[in-house]
Structure 1
Amino acid sequence: MKHLQPTEAWHWLQSHAQASPERVPLFVDVRMEIESLYVGRPPGVVNIPWYEYPDLTPDPEGFARKVLQEAGRLDRPVLLICRSGKRTLDAGAALEAAGFTDVAHVVHGFEGELDEHFHRSSRNGWRFEGLPWEQM
């Protein structure tokens, strides 16, 4: 799995935007749907939760099946993002175990690490870097 800093991930997505359809990266937000909608998310991201409320239990095989359904093929590049970059490590490992060959994740995720006041988006992450995002 590739580990891309937020700005690297954005540039990587942009550099592949004009590729053939099977090589355009699938950008997957693995957070719960409510997180993605109300906290904010990068534009164009597809929400496929690693786990969902109320169970909060990952289903690695089910997750990989859903990603494959969206991706269409195991060799399509997949970029994963979550809140802090932790869930994507497990989700990415599940995709690689399922046969995906080009998996990357956004280090520090969308909101980044906690600061000394237990706030996010103040040290690192997608939003901290000023990259495009939207919120419902």
Structure 2
Amino acid sequence: MGYAGDISPKQAWELLAQEPGAVLVDVRTRAEWAFVGIPDLANLGKKTVLLSWQNYPEMAIDADFAGKLKAQVGDVSGPVLFICRSGARSRSAAIAATAAGFARCFNVSEGFEGDKDGASHRGQRGGWKFAGLPWIQD
């Protein structure tokens, strides 16, 4: 597997609430954060770390992702949870962070918006928003 495992959005919220050192890293793009929203951890006294795994518009993986992650998170021993739109990019980021020395990396498997429904819309089948967890939009 190469990382600590997949967890649901509700499990992610519980872990963030229970472990003071737990961090949530949103690996989507700046446009996604601005237009779709981000997880709001204010009720937990935390902020979501915004760090793109891939840079728009080329969508090339950020070669310095691990270095930037270490600079923003610091503690490599605590739980680091990764979230993206649907769980694919965040899984790759969790694997890379584990390889870079982070001990407990989790993938939020349903992502922020979940999978597409029958009409090819997101937000109706799984995901952080669908689970009713707090989020904000600029």
Fold shared, TM-score > 0.5 on shorter chain: yes
Residue 110 of structure 2 is matched in structure 1 by 108
C-alpha deviations, 1:34-90, integer Å up to 9, x for none?
Answer: 10122011112111000111321003x411111111111321321110000010111
Residue 12 of structure 2 is matched in structure 1 by 9
Residue 28 of structure 1 is matched in structure 2 by 25
C-alpha deviations, 1:109-128, integer Å up to 9, x for none?
Answer: 00000011000010111000
Residue 46 of structure 1 is matched in structure 2 by 49
Please report the TM-score for the alignment, with normalisation by the length of structure 1. Answer: 0.90
Question: What are structure 1's unaligned runs of at least 5 residues?
Answer: none
C-alpha contact (below 8 Å) 2:16/2:23 kept by paired residues: no
**What is the CA–CA distance in structure 1 between the aligned matches of 2:124 and 2:75, rounded to whole Å?**
37
**What is the CA–CA distance in structure 2 between the aligned matches of 1:30 and 1:74, rounded to whole Å?**
17
Amino acid at match of 1:57: A
Q: CA deviation at 1:101?
A: 0.6
Give me the CA root mean square deviation.
Answer: 1.1
Please report the TM-score for the alignment, with normalisation by the length of structure 2. Answer: 0.89
Identify, as 1 or 2, the structure richer in strand: 2
Residue 43 of structure 2 is matched in structure 1 by none
Q: CA deviation at 1:135?
A: 0.6
Amino acid at match of 2:18: S
Amino acid at match of 1:36: W
Percent identical among aligned pairs is 41
Q: How many residues align?
A: 129
Q: Does 1:90 align with 2:87?
A: no
**What is the CA–CA distance in structure 1 between the aligned matches of 2:55 and 2:101, rounded to whole Å?**
23
